[in-house]
Amino acid sequence: MTPRRGAVMVPLMLWGYALVAMIPLFVMVLGSLRPTQDLFNDPIGLPNKLYLSNYTRAWTEASFSTYVLNSVVVVTGAVILGAAVSVLAAYPLGRRKFTGRGFFIGYFISGMTLPGHFGVLPLFYLLDGLNLVDSRLGLMLVYAAGSVPFNVFVLSAFFRQLPGELDEAAALDGAGPFATFRHIMLPLVRPAIATVVVFQFVPLWNDFFYPLVLLRDESKLTIPVGLTHFFGRFQNDWGTLFAGLVMTTLPLVILFGIATRQIVAGLTAGMNR
Partner 1 sequence: MAQAPVTTRGRGGRAGTWYLFLVPALLLYSLFVVYPLLTGLSYSVFSWKGTVRDAFVGVDNYVGLFTNEAFRSKLLPALGHNLALFAGTMLVQNTMGLAFALAFSRARRGKRALQIIFATPYLVNPLVIGYLWTLLLSPTFGPANTLLRAIGPDELAKPWLGDPSTALPMVILITTWQWVGFPMLLFSAAIGGIPAEYAEAARVDGASSWRVFWHITLPLLRPAIGTITVLSFIGSMNTFALVYALGGSSGGPAGSTDVLGLLFYRAAFASGDINAVGTASALAVFLFTFIFGTTILLNRILRQGEEAM
Partner 2 sequence: MRLTRRVAVLAVASLTALVACAPGADSGSDDENVTLSVWGWGPEANYDKMFAEYTKDNPGVKVDARSFTTATEYDTILSTGLAGKDGPDVAWLRAGAPLQPLVAAGRLVPLDNSSVPGLADFNAGVLQGAKGDTDGKVYGVPFAIQTLHVIYNKKIFADNGIAPPKTWEDMIAAAQKLQAAKIVPFAVGGKDDWTLPIITSIFGTSRWGGDAFLDEVKAGKKTFADPNFVAGVDLVNQLKPYFPKDVAGVSYTDAQTLFSAGKAAMFPGGIWEVNFFRTNAPGLDLGTFSAPPPPGSVAGKALLPGFMDGSYGVSANSKHREEALKLLSWLASKKYGQLYTDTVVQFSAVPGVEPKDPILREVAGTYTSNGARYFMNEFAYGNPSSQTVFSAALQEMLLGRITAAQAAAKLDASVATWLKPR
Segment 204 to 263, residues that bind partner 2, using CB under 8 A = 208-209, 212-213, 216-218, 228-236
Smallest distance from partner 2 to CB 175, Å: 11
Residue 131 touches which member of partner 2, partner 1, none, C-beta under 5-8 Å by kind: partner 2
Smallest distance from partner 2 to CB 237, Å: 9
Whether the Cβ atoms of residue 119 and residue 51 lie closer than 8 Å to each other: no
Binder of partner 2 out of 37, 99, 113, 272 (CB under 8 A): 37
Residues 6 or more apart from 88 whose CB is under 8 A from it? 181
Whether the Cβ atoms of residue 108 and residue 153 lie closer than 8 Å to each other: yes
Go through the chain and tell me how many residues it has: 273
CA 258 to mean position of chain CA atoms: 13
Subset of residues 75 to 94 that bind partner 2, contact rule: CB under 8 A: 85, 88
CB closer to partner 2, 17 vs 40: 40
Q: Is 141 in the site for partner 1 (CB under 8 A)?
A: yes
Rounded Cα gap, residues 45 and 42, in angstroms: 7
Subset of residues 53 to 112 that bind partner 1, contact rule: CB under 8 A: 81-82, 84-86, 88-89, 91-93, 95-101, 104-112
Q: Is 69 in the site for partner 2 (CB under 8 A)?
A: no
Binder of partner 1 out of 177, 186, 213, 229 (CB under 8 A): 177
Subset of residues 212 to 251 that bind partner 1, contact rule: CB under 8 A: 224, 227, 231, 238, 241-242, 245, 248-249
Subset of residues 20 to 49 that bind partner 1, contact rule: CB under 8 A: 20-25, 27-28, 43-44
Q: Is 129 in the site for partner 1 (CB under 8 A)?
A: no
Whether the Cβ atoms of residue 267 and residue 50 lie closer than 8 Å to each other: no
Residues 6 or more apart from 140 whose CB is under 8 A from it? 73, 74, 77, 78, 81
Maximum CA extent, the chain:
72
Q: Is 120 in the site for partner 2 (CB under 8 A)?
A: yes
Binder of partner 1 out of 61, 206, 213, 229 (CB under 8 A): 206
Q: Identify the bridge partners of residue 236 per DSSP, sorted by sequence position.
A: 231
Smallest distance from partner 2 to CB 157, Å: 23
Binding residues (CB under 8 A) for partner 2: these are 36-37, 40-43, 85, 88, 117, 120-121, 124-125, 128, 130-135, 137-138, 141, 176-178, 208-209, 212-213, 216-218, 228-236
